[in-house]
Structure 1
Amino acid sequence: ELEINPCTYREKIRSINLILNGGKILNVQAATSTVKLGIQKVLSSLLEDDKVECKNIKISFMQSEKDPSQIGELVHQVIPAAYTQALTQALNCTINSLPLKTDSLYKKIKEQKAKIKMQKEQEAEQKNKEQTEKEETQNENSAVSEQ
């Protein structure tokens, strides 16, 4: 879960919830520590000039009898994808590259507001044009019926 602070234009990760299938887990505590360490490393690489933090991390492991796998590596694939997807949803525009710069979110929000403003202006212009055409048609019809 991620939210954007409207005053600072910074993201805040509310929580990270992972359910991993890493095969048979022999030591759940060690596996949890490995995953949390991996998450912290990935979070520190998401921004170029700052660090993303999350204190609310929940990790669960699926029961499996398969051979153990590199669970720490799973985090390096999942967290960046989840982060960009959450930002994309929060900003309503696509984030397609990492790491971000601190002002990237501000710029994206500014672009998004400019697009919305332009769309509203175009819609208003279109409505005015349609209204003018409708009035002209009515005036022409009135002139024809008077003759």
Structure 2
Amino acid sequence: MRSEPEGLTGHVLDLDAIYHVLDAKSDYGREIVRQSVLRNTTLLLPAVAAQCMTGLRPRQADALLAVPVVTIGGLPAADVPGTAQLSRKMAAGLERHARGVSTQSELVAVLAAAHAVVLAEARGGWRIVTSTPHLYDEISGVRLEILP
């Protein structure tokens, strides 16, 4: 695992974590955003998740994206093969555990989770904030911050 560049830190929010925050499902989710602002630490949204969020909830998306520490992590062409491979591995893991990917929204969540892993690894192992930790069962070395 690569070491984190000095002075840069943050969390990657997967799709379910983004909706958890937007829906104010817990004080913990709000506190992650508040502490990130206070400490000037990045909240990185995978592009797949951000696109989904802006398409389905444009006003809430605008509000979240207006938070100064929130940014979108792109999916450059070089990262597409790795993200696709992780997506297949995650989907296969869900199928093995009788939680198969059955809807388009679940497929998007898997793609966003795979992109979150790529983003977290590229930043030296940032934690991925999620409310669906089972998505990551097949991926070793991932650091999760699980929302209640």
Give me the TM-score of the superposition, normalised by structure 2. Answer: 0.26
User: RCO (CA 8 Å, sep 6+): is it higher in 1 or 2?
Assistant: 2
Structure 1 or 2, whichever has the larger Rg, is 1
Give me the TM-score of the superposition, normalised by structure 1. Answer: 0.26
